[in-house]
Amino acid sequence: MALSSKARPHLLVAALVLVVVGVLVARMPGATPQAVPGSQVPATTTPPVVDSVGGDGAGDPYYPQDGNSGYDVRGYDLAVGYDPATQRLDGKALVTATAMDGLSRFNLDLYELAVSEVSVDGKPAEFRQEGEHELVITPAEPLVKDAEFVVAVTYGGVPTLFQDRALGKSGWQVSASGGAFAAGEPHSATTWFPANDTPRDKASFKLAARVPDGWSVVSNGAEGETTRADGWTTYRWDAPQPMATYLTTIAIDKWTIDRTTLADGTPVVNAFAPGATQARAEQGRLPEVLEFLASKFGPYPFESAGGIFLADDIGFSLETQTRPIYAGWADLETVVHENAHQWFGDSVALRSWADICLNECFASYAQWLWSEGKDGVDLDAKYRGEIARTDDSSSYWNRKLYDMGRGNEFRGVYDKGQLAVHALRRQIGDEPFGKVLQTWTAQHRDGNASWPEFEAHVEQVSGQDLDGFFAAWFHGDKIPSDEYLWPGPLRK
């Protein structure tokens, strides 16, 4: 994520997220996804049903009630409809999942939208909505451990925002043009569709979105067939590679669409809202940006690319997977930052929000790498200049980069994080540093990882004991001692 300089004075770039909303399948000719029957277990091998219930949280210590336990989502298949005139969204979501245990009850997350019908494997299920976002589902028959099942949820209403005093707004937002988009971090998806809302449960994502003629829809992944009927147009998007829920997006506007390809044939779809004209030149360099980042991080990890450019001057841009969503102020550095996230944060997702430096520290350092590689900037001199400007200020150094506490996730990762990663590079050397980046993204592609795992990875690749270094830079809240502040060639 990248934040506006107005929103966060210390940050070159920052993060939050965008996502949007859905429509009742009965109102969408040709847009209804087909449910996949749950897997059948032969009678002779069917294990006994265990009467257990899934929990209403996935275990993240910062957001203990985000997500749910008891199952693993394989894919989301959404059919949604949105009318900008009424701001109403209606939808039907098919959620294909695998039971991790025998389940007599389980939960999904859905925020402020009303559910009218639920079925599990085609059979009506009991359901109730509790608290701010819990959809509690009791299937007609308990689910057997390791069985695949499909939940169908019909829902609707006027989507709204999450409001967080520390992290700001996220979720469904109405744009100045009268359209809408969904974005935010750590939340946003459940303001427009039911989900297991935790980065730990990545899944494929498919969308059929129906809007009045004259409006259009852009989302994640590859562009599919567009159909028109009775004054409405249905747009289809397909993102088959695993994705964290907060990285999904839907953006509704009167888009101008540019379609190109990368050198290897990867399709590129760029969408520009009315008035978002300045971004065209910056996004025109996307192939160059991705080629440069691939030289540092390894091959581009997805099957599609592009960007969604708003005219709205919101406070952040967000790394929505395959197609980042950009605020009206976005510049070339923002494009570099959000596309670096396609490796660090999207393909390799964090395990817990305490691990956010894995996303933001490295996307922010990608801006330094770009300035070094493209503009010839001396990063050692830049590092020394940044250190000099901090003046040993406790307000700068007291921001931890790992396990910083709920609400503090984005305080230090954009500026202090850049210094820390450059110090790490100088501590272990250019060749091991490059190997660290490429082997990390290759080993954890399409999965999740934690900051402690990254520390162990760096030590293994570099052959160095780095406990003191990591404690000083990433776990600590004071200026590092000279031993770690001036490693290798930085030492005077």
Strand ranges (E), 125-266: 126-130, 134-138, 148-157, 161-164, 168-174, 180-183, 203-212, 216-219, 222-223, 227-229, 232-243, 250-253, 256-261
**Mean pLDDT within 45-61:** 68
**Mean pLDDT within 210-223:** 98
The token duo for 200 is 């730990």
Residue 12 is assigned to a structural domain of this protein = no
Number of domains in the chain: 1
Quote the DSSP letter at residue 253.
Answer: E
Question: What integer pLDDT is reported at residue 8 of this predicted model?
Answer: 44
Residue 432 is assigned to a structural domain of this protein = yes
| Residue 430 φ then ψ, to 5° | -60, -45
Residue 412 is assigned to a structural domain of this protein = yes
**Mean pLDDT within 71-77:** 98
Confidence of residue 456 (pLDDT cuts 50, 70, 90): very high
49: pLDDT strictly greater than 60 = no
The b-or-e profile of 52-89 (16+ CB within 10 A means b, else e) is: bbbebbbebebbebbbbbbbebbbbbbbbbbbbeebbb
Question: What integer pLDDT is reported at residue 394 of this predicted model?
Answer: 80
More confident: 455 or 7 = 455
Average pLDDT over the chain, rounded to whole? 89
Question: What integer pLDDT is reported at residue 35 of this predicted model?
Answer: 38
Q: Which of 56-65, 163-172, 365-374 has the lowest mean pLDDT?
A: 163-172
Cβ proximity of 305 and 2 under 8 Å: no
- pLDDT for 314-365, tens place per residue? 888 999 999 999 998 899 999 999 999 999 999 999 999 999 999 999 999 9
- pLDDT for 17-42, tens place per residue? 333 333 333 334 334 343 333 333 34
Percentage of the chain modeled with pLDDT above 70: 89
Confidence of residue 421 (pLDDT cuts 50, 70, 90): very high
Residue 197 to residue 199: CA distance in whole angstroms: 7
Residue 14 is assigned to a structural domain of this protein = no
The token duo for 432 is 């091991």
Residue 415 is assigned to a structural domain of this protein = yes
Residue 476 is assigned to a structural domain of this protein = yes
Burial (0-12, 13-18, 19+ Cβ within 10 Å), 484: buried
Quote the DSSP letter at residue 321.
Answer: T
Confidence of residue 12 (pLDDT cuts 50, 70, 90): very low
More confident: 391 or 136 = 136
**Mean pLDDT within 451-470:** 98
Domain that holds residue 372: 353-490
CATH classification of the domain holding 434:
1.10.390.10
Q: Which of 29-38, 88-97, 434-443 has the lowest mean pLDDT?
A: 29-38
- pLDDT for 217-256, tens place per residue? 999 999 999 999 999 999 999 999 999 999 999 999 999 9
Neighbours of 174 (CB within 10 A): 16
Question: What integer pLDDT is reported at residue 166 of this predicted model?
Answer: 61
Residue 416 is assigned to a structural domain of this protein = yes
282: pLDDT strictly greater than 90 = no
- pLDDT for 461-485, tens place per residue? 999 999 999 999 999 999 999 999 9
435: pLDDT strictly greater than 70 = yes
More confident: 67 or 400 = 400
More confident: 337 or 45 = 337
